[in-house]
Amino acid sequence: MALKRQLGKYKFRDLTIEELKNVHHKFPELKLSMDTYTFSDGSQKDLLSLIGTIPIRYQGHSYNIPIQIWILDSHPFGPPLCFLRPTSNMIIREGKHVDAQGRLYLPYLQHWSHPKTDVTGLLNEMMAEFEKTPPLYTKPATDELSLAELNNYVAAISSDLSEVSLQPKMDAQHFGKVTVLGGGDLGMACAMSILAK
């Protein structure tokens, strides 16, 4: 009953509810939520979304891939919008079916045509594609250093450099140099911390 009220603005509410019942039966770990979606043109709309994880097997190991599927108010005649929802220790692997923001572009979505296609079929294709090449991977251990640990480390190095540079040789001017390898967040944090010292 609550779902019917939430889907009051959906053109094909009864069809959508029936389909979501099937999805819940096969993928109970996906939870329904009514949220505001912001489109690329800046417009917003309250849409139903499925949030959770889907299981995959890759190279003999099991993984749970976090996703979010936005159900448009034209459902089931309009294809859903699908995204990865990486956790803080995950990085999106861009590829043929995934962009840098984690949006998914699967063939199933491109050929969406009710009643041949539905969310359950979409989830099955997602799992099949992700088992070929997982769309997420874990950040390297070096990126997991907390900012506090990084600042402490850089402060220790910087204080050593300061002590050396405070005692220049009398016969020549001494310039200290620091080289930071890596251009990611970690490298930038190192460079900014050294500059601040």
Summarised one tens digit per residue, pLDDT across range 102-146 is: 999 999 999 999 999 999 999 999 999 999 999 998 887 655 456
pTM of structure: 0.69
Summarised one tens digit per residue, pLDDT across range 70-102 is: 999 999 999 999 999 999 889 999 998 999 999
Domain 1-138 in this protein, CATH class: alpha beta
Q: What mean pLDDT do residues 42-46 have?
A: 93
Summarised one tens digit per residue, pLDDT across range 147-195 is: 666 667 767 766 655 554 444 445 555 566 777 777 677 777 777 777 7
C-alpha to C-alpha distance for 91 and 194, rounded to whole angstroms: 27
Beta bridge partners, 58, equal: 61
CB under 8 A, 24+ apart: contacts of 123-132: 123/23, 123/26, 123/27, 123/54, 126/54, 126/65, 126/67, 126/82, 127/54, 127/55, 127/56, 129/97, 130/54, 130/56, 130/58, 130/65, 131/56, 131/57, 131/58
